Amino acid sequence: TLSGVITTGAGQTLLRAYETVSPGRVIIAGNGPLNLQLAAELVGRGADVVAVVESAPAPVKRPVLAGQLSAAAPRLALAGMRHLWTLRRAGVPVLWESVVTRIEGLGRVERVTVKQAGAEARSIEVETVCLGDGFVPASELPRLLGCQQDVRDWPVTHPETGRQPDGRTDQADVSVIGEAGRFGGAFLAQAQGRLCAARLLERSGKMLPPGLDRSRRMYRDNARFQALLWKLYQPVVPLPVPEDTTILCRCECVTAGTVRARVAEDGIADLAALKRATRAGMGRCQGRFCQASLMKVLPEPKSEKDFTAPQIPLRPVPVAALARQKPEWRGHVRVPIPSGLGQAVQSVSGTAEIVDVVVVGGGIVGLFAALFLAEAGKSVVVLERGRAGALASGGNAGSLHAQLMAFDASADTDGPSMPARTLALQRESIRMWEALRGAFDRDLEIKVCGGLVVAETESDMERLRSKVAVEQSLGVDARILDPGELHGIEPNLKHGFLGGAYCSEEGKINPMAATQAVLARARQAGVRVEELTALSAIERDGSRFRVSAGAASWSAGAVVNAAGAYAGEVAELVGRRLPVFGAPLQMIVTEPVAPLVFSLLAHASRHLTLKQAANGSLLIGGGWSAGLDPVHGHPRPLRENLEGNLWVAQRLIPALGAVNVVRSWAAMNIDIDGAPILGESPDVPGFFTAVTANGVTLAPAMGRHVADMLLRRSERPDLEIFSPARFYGDPS
């Protein structure tokens, strides 16, 4: 992180593209022949190169490999020998079997510590350090397109697109050639380009270009050369283990100590959970630079799912470059999301483990229910088909809603609609969040900042007056504002709005930190969370339930269905139907900026929620629908809806136009009837449902109340409106 530390590639770009020699005494360290090439080029331009530090042994110690390399590509081998001769003639030592272990200085580089195998560490005074330990391909785009990925461990662990010599992938319409797939040098890339072009021409019925046999030989010979080259340069000295104070993620300033603590205390085993717990990999670079370091503290990855998921845009893009006006709509877009529940195993023989309660779904509602049940002395198992808190619970924008959404149809009714009748529960739950904040071992970034809805037209103002009247009748602290009051709350708001509505009880939370905190607390209370465990059957076994997931089964006195978008399918396993529909929604996050938005900001008739997180990032949402990935079937943002969402946000806060979007993401929310489902099935005793489309806001209250219902601990007649009985009619 010191000034004067750059990559080997940056040093080469400075020299070749800008005619600039790296200043002062230069040391080049890492692994691979590019470091020798840069050193030779710098020496040729008069630079003061003091040493090349190489973690592999000298080629003379691997004579067989060196000979095979020379035979495979004499010209390239000769070029490498010239680089070594240039350095030797200039008196630049190559320190084989060595690594740089420290880089120090006040404000800029002053010295490095070099450790050579079998020798004492020594300090070398320098002003510039060029680091290069190899290359990994940028695989985000082919991953987004659904191309199969293989796990590679050279030069660091990373996903790599599977492809043939002609660039063919498992997706018929996607080809990956050259170093977009794997580093292999210019000759290999050229051969792949010709072979790929020939394949595409042949597929189109066009005439094939001449010289294909030569291209195939060129590919074969250079592929063999590259394999031998990196065997020759196989490091024998590892890089040092980072100290706790070492910054692993520069974008978010996350240290190695923070990462290790979260892994140890939370039992984190995957990179996505580590990101949610620490924010490492969530900054401007989206983990491209820190992912390899983060992976070293986690179990060895088995597939691409163990790496951070690529998100669009692949590189930061200004809001103004994407914002486009789109038509408005009402209601969520529902999508079919068959999960295969009940298909794998319908019944399991053998002994079932006896527990008090099985909770189906490891989202934040299910985790809260499990936590409160465990604290009451019950033995609880949570079954989660993916990773706990990884879907909607960790993939939302973190709004704590205490008022009606004006852009939703629920604001159009004069009477207490189902969303309006849920407001009391939402307000109760927000108070619970505030009361619980001290019970967790980390900052949940809870802030009751108030919610402002602005109006552009008289129709908007009429809508807000109606909405506020309903809210005030239910005890919500809401009021109408005139134009002069708007900028007292949001000074960066565009001028010209006719007025607005303000609710002092609205707030925000960091849903990633909150979900991980509840998960850790539940485990401490004795809850067993079975991740990557898909439910397959629920069967009646006398007065108990036999719950199966693959070859494992549990005998439980009660089951809590907290499966979110899959709750309807879970209910079908006990012979009941619930009108729970999948509704994928997308969110957008920007780079951190100075304070710009101070409340939870919304528009009276356009879909928008806009707020600023504690780290300065702006979170932009508001119910814009996502689509489904055509290959994997999981939620994926839609460009047209990203454009529309950003247009509305910029319309309210014009300064947003210059801010960069760093990522968008999508999660499977649910669509019910505007209210949660909370309670025991009227004709399946012991089968409880706790499902809501507003999970982060309602989670603690939902978890507490379903636990109380299961324990027969209290009666809440006001909650009967949320019972699943409202969908069943007369069970007789």
Cβ-contact 622, 396 below 8 angstroms: no
> What percentage of the chain reaches a pLDDT higher than 90?
76
pLDDT at 347 over 70: no
Instruction: Write down the pLDDT at residue 415.
Output: 56
The string of pLDDT tens digits covering residues 83-142 is 999 999 999 999 999 999 999 999 999 999 999 998 999 999 999 999 999 889 999 999
pLDDT at 344: 45
CA atoms within 13 A on the CB side of 111: 7
Confidence of residue 345 (pLDDT cuts 50, 70, 90): very low
pLDDT at 731: 45
Domain map of the chain by residue range?
Answer: 5-132, 140-232, 247-292+303-310, 318-333+448-506+582-671, 353-395+512-580+675-727
Fold annotation for 353-395+512-580+675-727: FAD/NAD(P)-binding domain (3.50.50)
Q: Which range has highest mean pLDDT (249-253, 372-376, 417-421)?
A: 372-376
User: Which CATH homologous superfamily contains domain 318-333+448-506+582-671?
Assistant: D-Amino Acid Oxidase, subunit A, domain 2 (3.30.9.10)
- Predicted confidence (pLDDT) at residue 73 exceeds the cutoff of 90: no
Pairing of strands 25-30, 128-132: parallel
Q: Is the pLDDT at 53 greater than 50, yes or no?
A: yes
Q: How many CA atoms lie within 13 A of 348 on its CB side?
A: 24
* pLDDT for position 116: 93
Helix (H) or strand (E) holding 163: none
Q: What pLDDT, on a 0 to 100 scale, did the predictor assign at position 25?
A: 97
**Residue 695: band (very low, low, confident or very high) from pLDDT cuts 50, 70, 90:** confident
Report, at the CATH architecture level, how domain 5-132 is classified. Answer: 3-Layer(bba) Sandwich (3.50)
Task: Find the mean pLDDT for residues 574-594.
Answer: 93
Mean pLDDT across the chain, nearest whole number?
92
Find the DSSP H helices in 206-281.
212-232, 256-266, 271-278
Taking the CB of residue 543, how many other CB atoms lie within 10 A of it?
A: 8
Residue 634, pLDDT score: 86
- Mean pLDDT confidence for 40-48: 96
What average pLDDT score do residues 189-194 get? 96
Q: How far apart are CA 83 and CA 303, in angstroms?
A: 39
Would the CATH topology of 5-132 be identical to that of 318-333+448-506+582-671?
Answer: no
10-37: average pLDDT: 95
> In this structure, is the dihedral angle defined by the CA atoms of residues 529, 533, 539 and 542, taken in order, positive or negative?
negative
Percent helix, percent strand, percent coil in the chain, to nearest 5 = 35, 20, 40
What confidence score (pLDDT) does residue 209 get? 87
pLDDT at 410: 52
Does the structure show a pLDDT above 70 at 341? no
Task: Say if residue 730's pLDDT is above 90.
Answer: no
Task: Determine the pLDDT at residue 452.
Answer: 97
Average pLDDT of the residues in 187-212: 94
Region 659-676: mean pLDDT is 92
